[in-house]
Amino acid sequence: MKLRYYLLDVFTRDRLCGNPLAVVLKADGLSTARMQAIAGEFNLSETVFVCEPKNVRHSAALRIFTPQTELPFAGHPTIGTTVLLGLHNKLSAVRLELGVGLVTAVMEPVDRRTGDARFSLPRSPERIGSGPRPADIAKRLGIDEADVGCGNFQPAQYSAGLPFYIVPVRDSLVLETIVLERRGWQDTFPGDHNDIYVFTATPDERGNDYAARMFGPGTGLDEDPATGSAAAALIGLLADSGHYGDGRHHVRVRQGREMGRPSLIELQMNIAQGALSHPGIGGSAVVLAEGMLDLSE
């Protein structure tokens, strides 16, 4: 069995920036165990396996794996796969069957290797729990307790398909100085999926509104350069904060700068009578490489 795969950099138009992604095409003949093993071999934050859709009107069914487990939803695999399929098949709309449901994404080509994509979230973000005590958060992040919080943003747990602890901090200097203390992580951030998305407002920066870092030592990922599912959860906190009035809002979040993998995630949300509707994620992706998996005996 030989399967073609592609490597893309996602949430960027620049190669060797953003979040790397592997996409394996025509993967229907692979077992779940074999997919998991291949994802472990690539050892990227996520690997996508493109399969035939259940509905012939849809473009593909996607299965998304980290090196350790399968995910029902993730943002950068959705953006990257949309760009790849859109470029290859000359599609402006790509309908993808994911574990959380159907996603219809829109793709605009930039050049033969690069495209911009955006999609409405299949599940609206919702608050699922309170945040830990600021003193405990500060210990895990190696910062002062007074550095936890940003304006009226306070820590809380949100999910748009995957749960994240959303942690605001005072400013970008605090964001840069984070040093994780892994001891006690499970006590401070309990749960099977206890990754955290630390963010802050960046009013003095051009080209983005917020900066963020994602840490997941509890699930085997120390830091991720661009995390669409976490940014999707962040939409819920932003909407609930009262910071945004009624209307359509476009927000840009930079991530990955501290890792040397600068990324830009675009968020869309509509507020109507104080309630969130039509949340979405957008970003760019660029094809970096292609190859062949040789799984023949």
170 by DSSP, 3-state: which? Answer: coil
**What is the rounded distance in angstroms from the CA atom of residue 285 to the CA atom of residue 82?**
9
Place of tokens 């040789």: 294
Largest CA distance in the chain: 61
Helix or strand (DSSP H, E) at 194: none
> Tokens at residue 139, please?
């210990």
37 C-beta neighbours (distance < 10 Å), count:
14
What b/e string do you get for 89-106 counting C-beta neighbours within 10 Å, with b at 16 or more?
eebeebbbbbebeebebb
Q: How many CA atoms lie within 13 A of 81 on its CB side?
A: 33
Q: How far apart are CA 213 and CA 180, in angstroms?
A: 12
Residues 267 and 234: beta-carbon distance below 8 Å: yes
Strands 47-51 and 196-201: unpaired
Cβ neighbours around 16 below 10 Å, total: 11
**Are the C-beta atoms of 267 and 281 separated by less than 8 Å?**
yes
Q: Is 46 known to be catalytic? A: yes
Check 46, 97, 223, 266 and give the catalytic one.
46
> CA-to-CA distance for 242 and 109, rounded, in angstroms?
35
The rounded distance, in Å, linking the Cα atoms of 211 and 59 is 33
* Cβ atoms of residues 291 and 38 within 8 Å: no
By annotation, the residues acting in catalysis are 46
